[in-house]
Amino acid sequence: MKKLILILLSVCTITVHGQTNDIVETDGFVNPLHQANAGRIVFMGSNIPLEQLKETDFLTAYELKPVSDLSIRPFLANSITNYLHQLAPDLPADELIKKGNYQFTFYVDGKSVYTENLHYGAGLKKHTTTTFRVPITSSKGEDWWAIYMFNRFMLNGGEKVLTDGTHQLKIEMRPYINLGEIKVGDIIAQGEVQLIMKTPVLTQEEIAVQPIQANSGWEISNAPIDKPKIEEMNKLIALNKLKEITGVVVIKDGKLLLEEYFNKADRNTLHDTRSVGKSFASTMMGFAIQDGYIKNENQTLNKFYDLKQYANYSTKKDSVKLRDLLSMSSAFNGNDSNMESPGNEENMYPTDNWVKFALDLPMDNSKANGKRWDYFTAGVVVLGDVIDKSVHGGLEKYADKKLFSPLGIKNYEWQYTPQKVANTAGGLRMSTLDYARYGQLYQNKGKWKGKQLLSASWVAKTFTKQLPIGGRDNEYYGFLFWNKTFTIKGKNYETFYCTGNGGSKIYVFKDIPLTVVITAKAYGRPYGHPQVDKMMQEYILPAVIK
């Protein structure tokens, strides 16, 4: 009896000791299934609510198709906060989850392929959560960190090793924390599933160059095209190797050479091309200057706003020129590439006045106006507001009168700021062919059907390399247009282009009569922009350039 009591006391002491090691109270084991599978990652073929989930739903094998739905559910014995506390016991709970998170390691057939320290911002209720479901592939366009992570695994070796056949995928989870150097804990959950890989058999019709239908509004080009190149590209799109591409249009010598649609899009689809819409702010600024509503791009912000009425006033803010905002080179403390930047666009969207958000920002002491490029969406919102206040009837009506109606663009949709001004940050929806009309206006140096709409001098200023883009070799920025050069068979082809999250592009080539539009919806995906570069470099340009 004494021996039994001693054993019980020992167990109780260990339990109490374990509790005192925790820094936060968690959800614990939420049901018997959770408790029975603690330390395990299970795979599911659909989103099954936890209260309905049974062990018979756990997958042992799954056919991973180009578009599929595969989810995981880790069953943890503790929350990530408490696991991090074991690695850094001196830090408070809220500080722990700012310095660490889960580490995921992917194995294929017993070999480690990819490890990712999940960004600290991913995940919810980290103090309490002990089990959660996330999709790692989705046919529904879900926006989850786990999908992005699985995409990065595929891009960083997964696609190469997951060849046709059956493979064992294993995922391990550990806690990690960044204390100047990365510290990693023990495995907290792991799981395996057999992935069955089969390359779909495509018909010739699925990969053939799509015939241009009647009534496009364009004269059809008879220029030669390397059809096998385009068919190779179409095959990759059909196999989802080039993902979420919705349209490709090529205008050569002012004529429609190629028009193709994918992933349920068609000629009438209005595409959300995100920051492609920023370039339209540059266009409308050109019209406003041309019509005398705005003197020129060298006017300063204090001509349009009493900046002393905004926070963080300085004379440096007064001296920001319109051209500084057009070239993303103002000295505002705003940088969308830096999540810690006060002016990051993600800090702007929840506010009820985006212009005030921008004009309230402090100036960056390390920057001088017009000298350094930093991507700054809030500055383009200010440009839209300046135009809206300056032109007759406001920006939206002015754009329809000066740009859309003359180009024959009738079906389009603006998004709006909280003040109901047409949003120049992005989100302007149009058809792929109508985006081509816009690109061709610039290809024609501001002319459309022989009439000069936008001044050639403004197009020339826009298509001037205003500043180099930091961190990119031989890439530049104009007035809300980007610049790069493709090299095909040893020859350079320079282009100014619009670009938006998801991979949408409007390319206007400088020395050859070529305009290319690609629409895509790979929003936030790591492959969104690189795959479009691949399409241009390896397929479209070699196919249409002599």
pLDDT per residue over 328-379, tens digit each? 999 999 999 999 999 999 999 999 999 999 999 999 999 999 999 999 999 9
188-243 pLDDT tens trace: 999 999 999 999 999 999 999 999 999 999 999 999 999 999 999 999 999 999 99
138, 69 Cβ separation under 8 angstroms: yes
Residue 43 forms beta bridges with which residues?
72
Q: What is the dotted CATH code of the domain comprising 201-262+269-276+431-546?
A: 3.40.710
> What are the sequence ranges of the domains in the chain?
23-197, 201-262+269-276+431-546
459-505 pLDDT tens trace: 999 999 999 998 899 999 999 999 999 999 999 999 999 999 999 99
276, 504 Cβ separation under 8 angstroms: yes
What is the distance between the alpha carbons of residues 372 and 467, in angstroms, rounded to a whole number?
7
Confidence of residue 140 (pLDDT cuts 50, 70, 90): confident
What are the φ and ψ backbone dihedral angles of 466, each rounded to 5 degrees?
A: -70, -45
Specify the DSSP class assigned to residue 253. T
Residue 87 predicted with pLDDT over 90: yes
Read off the amino acid at residue 259.
E
What is the distance between the alpha carbons of residues 183 and 369, in angstroms, rounded to a whole number?
41
Residue 8 predicted with pLDDT over 50: no
Read off the amino acid at residue 200.
P
Read off the amino acid at residue 264.
K
Confidence of residue 14 (pLDDT cuts 50, 70, 90): very low
Burial (Cβ within 10 Å: 0-12, 13-18, ≥19) of residue 179: exposed
Q: What is the pLDDT of residue 533?
A: 98
What is the distance between the alpha carbons of residues 50 and 394, in angstroms, rounded to a whole number?
52
Q: What is the pLDDT of residue 229?
A: 98
**What are the structure tokens assigned to 303, written together?**
């001509």
Q: Cα–chain-centroid distance for residue 95?
A: 28
pTM score of the predicted model: 0.87
Residue 16 predicted with pLDDT over 60: no
